[in-house]
């Protein structure tokens, strides 16, 4: 598996996949829909998949002395690696905003979703959607990428709109609390988002393995 990961990181990956990890810094931007940063990270991964397809990466992978399941596993581990690197950037930005910049007027008067623990949890849900819709859709054919990515775009922006709207609903204002106010609730929501990400990714991985085994390359 180590060699498969090295192949994914050094041969299959496009530099743009690594560059878009920096999209996590959108969590620093006031008055900006911070969850778009999670989307941009997945956009970079998608561009990497296009690069790999043009290089016949899947065909090369199945010629290696590894199982089809390991080929799928390598892709999933690499995608999760990029997503979690971007999440780490988001988490750092969020902690700085919640501590050193907690009194900044640009953040306290923000009408959109604040960068807080709840926002981090929803970013993980966005990544889970990508893994479920795009990755699972890709391994249905191991070639076609456009349709699953378009479906993902529709789903993710509906999800972003929902998450952005939640704190405007009476009684749910706490999900957008700034600083460490309602930290217990938001921490629970962060863990819930992490659980959703893990479950969606594992189910998607198992489905992708089954689909890829049926493909005659």
pLDDT-derived band at 10, boundaries 50, 70, 90:
confident
Pairwise pLDDT comparison (8 vs 184), residue with the higher score: 184
> What does the pLDDT read at residue 156?
97
| Percent of the chain at pLDDT exceeding 70 | 99
Sequence-distant (≥ 6) Cβ neighbours of residue 210 within 8 angstroms:
none
pLDDT, one tens digit per residue, over 176-186 is 888 788 889 99
What value does the mean pLDDT of the chain take?
90
Angle of CA points 153, 159, 161, to nearest 5°:
100
Q: What is the mean pLDDT of residues 87-102?
A: 91
Cα distance between residue 163 and residue 129, in whole Å: 14
Pairwise pLDDT comparison (62 vs 99), residue with the higher score: 99
> What does the pLDDT read at residue 85?
97
Cα distance between residue 154 and residue 133, in whole Å: 11
Q: Is 174 exposed, middle or buried (0-12, 13-18, 19+ CB in 10 A)?
A: middle
On whether the CB atoms of residues 112 and 169 are closer than 8 A, the answer is: no
> What does the pLDDT read at residue 217?
64
pLDDT-derived band at 110, boundaries 50, 70, 90:
confident
> What six digits make up the tokens of 56?
């016949």
Sequence-distant (≥ 6) Cβ neighbours of residue 216 within 8 angstroms:
none
Q: Is 60 exposed, middle or buried (0-12, 13-18, 19+ CB in 10 A)?
A: middle
């Amino acid at each position: 598996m180590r060699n498969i990961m090295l192949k994914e990181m050094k041969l299959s990956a496009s530099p743009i996949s690594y560059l878009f990890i920096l999209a996590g810094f959108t969590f620093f931007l006031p008055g900006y829909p911070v969850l778009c940063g999670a989307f941009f990270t997945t956009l970079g991964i998608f561009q990497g998949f296009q690069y790999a397809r043009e290089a016949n990466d899947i065909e090369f992978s199945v010629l290696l002395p590894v199982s089809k399941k390991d080929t799928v596993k390598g892709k999933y581990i690499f995608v999760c690696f990029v997503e979690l690197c971007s999440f780490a950037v988001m988490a750092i930005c969020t902690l700085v905003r919640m501590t050193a910049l907690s009194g900044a007027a640009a953040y306290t008067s923000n009408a959109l979703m604040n960068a807080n623990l709840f926002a981090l949890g929803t970013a993980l849900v966005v990544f889970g959607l990508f893994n479920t819709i795009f990755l699972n859709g890709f391994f249905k054919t191991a070639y076609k990428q456009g349709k699953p990515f378009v479906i993902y775009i529709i789903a993710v922006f509906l999800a972003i709109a929902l998450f952005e709207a939640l704190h405007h609903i009476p009684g749910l204002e706490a999900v957008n609390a700034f600083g460490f106010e309602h930290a217990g609730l938001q921490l629970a929501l962060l863990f819930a988002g992490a659980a959703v990400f893990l479950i969606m990714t594992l189910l998607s991985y198992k489905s992708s393995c089954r689909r890829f085994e049926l493909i005659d390359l």
